[in-house]
Every structure is written in structure tokens, then in C-alpha cells.
Amino acid sequence: MTAAAVEELCVSDLAEAYRRRDLTPVAVTRAYLDRIQALDPRIDAYLTVTADQALAAARASEERYRTHSELGPLDGVPVALKDVLCTRGVRTTCASKILEHFVPPYDATVVERLTRAGALSLGKTNLDEFAMGSSTEHSGFKPTRNPWDLSRVPGGSSGGSAAAVAGGLAAAAFGTDTGGSIRQPAAFCGVVGLKPTYGRVSRYGLVAFASSLDQIGPLTRNVRDAALVLRVIAGHDRRDATSIDALVPDYAAALDDDIRGLRLGIPAEYFAAGTDPEIDRAVRAAIDVLRGLGATLHELSLPTTDYALAAYYLIAPAEASSNLARYDGVKYGLRVPGKDLVDMESRTRAAGFGAEVKRRVMLGTYALSAGYQEAYYGKAQKVRTLVRRDFETAFADVDLIVAPTTPNVAFTHGEKTDPLAMYLNDAFTIPANLAGIPAISVPCGFTAAGLPIGLQFIGRALDEARVLRAAHAYETAAPWRGRRPNLG
């Protein structure tokens, strides 16, 4: 085994190779840093590469393996972190000019847990500014390109993390999913992306976008890696009052159980006219594979699906407008001087925020302003209840819902200039966020043009184990396992 082909290895391969002394964490970290240096100028997945810290952590990990005191399956595994996760002493920008030079004084809980498990960070990945977007074109610094086709977007907002995993620039990566920001880029980049149950993973140290929806999760080469990683990052944290105090199961242990008798719901609304026919075909073929593995199929309806997007684009911007009020040029971040406090704040935010962030702050402020709050924000919260009830009704009869992750595959840079057209990309991912339930995207084929297609499994709250098991069963049976982009 050689470190020259690190991009071929998944997280569980690495741990195994380290234990057998076939590879060392330092050699693998160097190999990744070399790949980043050679390939990232074309992909632009990273905003910050922390080579020195990564190598220092790799040496410490190597010492642990040498003395047989390794910390578990993530020890010495090089990962990438979406640049909304606070990292002590390492610039955390949210891909925004307003935080261009912000250096957090503390680590996010997720970062702390990964460090404690021996994982090491290669750096911070690009995103749509403050995680608002579906293409990573709205980064305040640079767009990221899709490793499968550099003229296309990687999806978003966790586009840098998805591109890093797809391009072999990290063994695994972390993203956040507020309306699909892990699953949609995972689908676009042909990797696995898991959004856990709301509250399953602590949000402490995650820069807030929409607090009732935000959730951190992994982007990985395969489902087993997602299971391994989730176990490390999940669990209660007293520093996040919304984190759930529930046992964290050994997700990987039950991965290989068969799925005979598993009841899969197929929602009619996700196979409607707007879905790309190639996606429709690929997802139906995947569902046939699942039936072949012993799952039973149940057609059903999630009638509020068509309204979820509209509700989301009131709730998320409303929460964002409140969360982003903190960027006022006083305590951290950019400051543009003004003639008084309000003038200073208004100039600072005008210079620091990009067009999409301004649009959402405006939309959210409008939806919460006097006279409109009940008609917009209040109405959206009631629709959110209906979305949740749709799933409750469905899950009375089925164990999981299976559907496409996105209505379309990766589009070209600059293709979607109309904000609303961009928002419609999230139609199939948003409902799970509104309901707070777990969902995963797993590759299920390619279009004739060679672009990845994502299959989505949605489960009951805290039922990640079953979501992962079904996705793993499908992945194991799927013929494109191991297909990788050609980066020369």
C-alpha cells in the first residue's frame, strides 16, 4: 500500500492501514497536502490550508500508533472543516468579507470531539457566504468547482467540503445543512452526505445561520465512513441547549444487517414533472435494487411538499436576519467608520455582506417587520407544522422515505442568476430540515454526461442507524461504487 493513492482510501481503510503499519499518518497527511497543492488551484475547495498544524497533529498520531495508544477509528485521519466551524487560532471566515480576519478564541464542540478522537484538520473549506446558497458561487472570496466537471458548481452551501471529498483532497469533511447544504452538494459531487436529526450534533461553535434548522454532519466517500464519523461527533453538549440528551449508538456495528422487510415510502411529490428525467430513472432503478434486497415499497403522499420551500424561505431568512445582527463592526470583524453608530453599522454591513446575504437579511427583516410578521413568519411556522405532520403520517406506515436528493444535477457556473431559480434547487431537501429529521444522500448513478445523481433516504427523528443501514445496503449493491472523477 502506498500513500501515493490516498484518494483511493476511505476512513476505515486508513485506520486499518495505520494499525498494520502499511501507512503512517504523516505520510498520508503529506500525500493529502501534496494533492491539495497540485489540484486545489483548479478546484478551490479550501479557503485556508493548515499544513503545519496538520503535520504536527499527524506526528502526534503516529506516536500514538507506535505506542499502541491510538484513540479510535479516526486517529490520524485528515479531514476538512467547513469554514463556519470555529477553530481556535485558525481564521474562520464563513466565506464572508465581514469575517475575513476573524480568529476564534475557542473550538466548536465538533472540532473538539474530532481532535479528541485523533482526527486532524487539513484546513477550512469554501461555502456560500454564511451558508446561504446552493452553488458555492456566493462565497465572498472565490467559487469552488465540481471535480467531475470543472465548469460546473459543486452545489452548496457546503460545496468546498463536498468537492474536497470528491476530489480526494480530504478523507472526510464536515458541513452544515440548514435546507440541504450537506445533501445537495453531496449529490452534485458524487459523495455521501448525512444531515443528522436536529439536535443530534452540538451546534456550539457553529456560526449561526438559522438556529432552528442548522445541523452539522459529515461528507464522506462511503456510508460506513459517515457512520464512523457520526458516532464521534454526535451526543449531548451542555453548551448547546438544543442538543438532544440521547444515547449515541454504534452506527457502524449494525450497518451490515440486511434490509429484508424494511418498509420504504415513495413520495409522489418527489417524482413530479420538475425532476430531471435522468434523475427520475436513476432513482427508480435504485429503488428496484432496494426491492431486490428485500425492502417493501409503499407509494405515499407528502402533500405539503410543494409549500415547504416557500415556508423555508421565510423562516430561514427571518432567523438569519436576527442572527446576523451581531455583525455590526463593534466586537469583531470588519468595521467601516461612519459619522455615528448607525452610520458605522450600516456602512460596515454594506461593505461586508455579499448580495445573497443582503437579500436574505432584507427578506427576513421584512417578514418579521411590524404588520407582516403574522402574515409571513407566523404563517410559515404553521406550514412547518403541516410539513412535520406529513412525515408523522408517513412514518406510521413506513420505516424510511426514499426519493431523489435534488430535482437537477450540477449546473454550470453563472447558469442560475435568478435567486428564486436557485432556491428551487432545495425543494427535496428542505422538508427534512423543517421537520428536524435525519436524511442522507448517497450516489445512485450518473447522467449520460457523467454527472453524479443522489439518492435520498429520510428517516424518523434519531433513527440515523436505519437511514445509514439502508444507504449502506444500497451502496454495497450499486455498481458505481469507487467511481472517481478524473483530475489528470
Residues 289-318 contacting another protein, CB under 8 A:
304, 306-307, 310-311, 313-314
DSSP track, 137-157: TT-SS----BTTBTTB---SS
Residue closer to another protein (CB basis): 330 or 449: 330
* Candidate residues 383, 402, 468, 470; the one interacting with another protein per rule CB under 8 A: 383
DSSP track, 165-217: HHTTS-SEEEEE-SSSTTHHHHHHHTSEEEEPPTTSB--TTBPPSSTTT--EE
Considering the complex, what minimum distance in angstroms separates the CB of residue 197 from another protein? 8
How big is the chain, counted in residues?
Answer: 488
Considering the complex, what minimum distance in angstroms separates the CB of residue 101 from another protein? 8
* Residue 158 annotated as catalytic: no
Residue closer to another protein (CB basis): 189 or 437: 437
Q: What are the backbone angles phi and psi of residue 357, rounded to the nearest 5°?
A: -65, -45
Count CB atoms within 10 A of the CB of residue 458: 28
C-alpha cell at 413: 457556473
> With binding defined as CB under 8 A, does residue 157 bind another protein?
no
Considering the complex, what minimum distance in angstroms separates the CB of residue 268 from another protein? 18
Kindly tell me the burial class for residue 350, based on how many C-beta atoms sit within 10 Å of its own C-beta (0-12, 13-18, 19 or more).
exposed
* Residue 181 annotated as catalytic: yes
Residue closer to another protein (CB basis): 353 or 457: 353
Beta strands in 23-145 (DSSP E): 46-49, 78-82, 120-125
Considering the complex, what minimum distance in angstroms separates the CB of residue 120 from another protein? 23
Contacts of another protein in 393-432 (CB under 8 A): 418-420, 423
Instruction: Provide the b/e sequence for 142-177 (b: ≥16 CB within 10 Å).
Output: ebbbbbbbeebbbbbbbbbbbbbbbbbbbbbbbbbb
Considering the complex, what minimum distance in angstroms separates the CB of residue 466 from another protein? 18
* Residue 321 annotated as catalytic: no
CA–CA dist 101, 24 (Å, integer): 34
Per-residue interface string for the shown chain with another protein, residues 88-117, x marking contact by CB under 8 A: -------------xxx-xx-----------
CA distances from 300 to 39, 243, 296, 357, 407 (A): 45, 31, 13, 37, 18
Catalytic residue among 158, 181, 202, 243: 181
Number of residues that bind another protein (CB under 8 A): 73
Residue closer to another protein (CB basis): 44 or 328: 328
Catalytic residue among 139, 157, 202, 441: 157
> Which residues, in sequence order, are CB contacts of 1 under 8 Å at separation 6+?
17, 22, 23
Catalytic residue among 82, 97, 124, 195: 82
Helix or strand run (H / E) with residue 435: helix 430-435
> With binding defined as CB under 8 A, does residue 388 bind another protein?
yes
Nearest CA to 164 out of 91, 222, 76, 80 is that of 80
C-alpha cell at 168: 480526494
Half-sphere exposure of 329 (CA within 13 A, CB side): 19
Residue closer to another protein (CB basis): 18 or 313: 313
Considering the complex, what minimum distance in angstroms separates the CB of residue 380 from another protein? 7
> With binding defined as CB under 8 A, does residue 362 bind another protein?
yes
Residue closer to another protein (CB basis): 119 or 314: 314
Considering the complex, what minimum distance in angstroms separates the CB of residue 361 from another protein? 5
Residue closer to another protein (CB basis): 106 or 271: 106
Contacts of another protein in 215-254 (CB under 8 A): 238, 241-242, 244
Could you tell me the strand order of the sheet in which 120-125 lies? 46-49, 120-125, 78-82, 172-176, 216-220, 192-195, 439-446, 452-458, 400-404, 263-267, 296-300
Considering the complex, what minimum distance in angstroms separates the CB of residue 295 from another protein? 26
Residue closer to another protein (CB basis): 169 or 387: 387
Kindly tell me the burial class for residue 370, based on how many C-beta atoms sit within 10 Å of its own C-beta (0-12, 13-18, 19 or more).
exposed
Per-residue interface string for the shown chain with another protein, residues 319-358, x marking contact by CB under 8 A: --x---x--xxxxxxxx-xxxxxxxxxxx-xx--x----x
Q: Which amino acid is at 225?
A: D
Q: Which amino acid is at 115?
A: T
**Catalytic residue annotation:** 82, 157, 181
